Amino acid sequence: MSAQTELPQAASETTGSCCSPSGSCHSGGAAETPEGSITTVYEVKGMTCGHCEGAVSGEISELAGVGSVEAVAATGLVTVVSAAPLDEAAVRAAVDEAGYELVGVKA
């Protein structure tokens, strides 16, 4: 015999992704930026949902010196806080590994 538990969902929760109704795998809370760190915003093509955000964030967060990563599928922007400037080729490789395309640094 098996038991099945269903979680209640509000009627308004018809949009979202495979991760959450808001389309995000993370809480979205802003983290404090350590003093002396560098914030760089990259544009990434192909993200459509929270799962995409998590895949890109996970790959970039493995780069040396990265303190935090916030990817937003709706805008295609990925904000990276690092101890020093990151090599764009390394970021591009990480985004490629996740299955997406790095357009470049957002001006």
| CATH code for position 91 | 3.30.70.100
Classify residue 32: in a domain, yes or no. Answer: no
Any domain includes 53: yes
**Per-residue pLDDT tens for 16-48?**
444 444 444 444 444 555 678 999 999 999 999
Q: How far apart are CA 49 and CA 33, in angstroms?
A: 25
Between 33 and 71, residue with greater pLDDT: 71
Tell whether 3 is covered by a domain.
no
What's the chain's average pLDDT? 80
**Within-domain flag for 2:** no
Tally of structural domains, the chain: 1
Say if residues 66 and 82 touch (Cβ distance below 8 Å): yes
**24 in the Ramachandran plot: left (φ > 0), alpha (ψ -120 to 50) or beta?**
beta
Host domain of residue 58: 47-105
Note whether residue 34 is domain-resident.
Answer: no
78 within some domain: yes
Q: What pLDDT is stored for residue 98 in this prediction?
A: 97
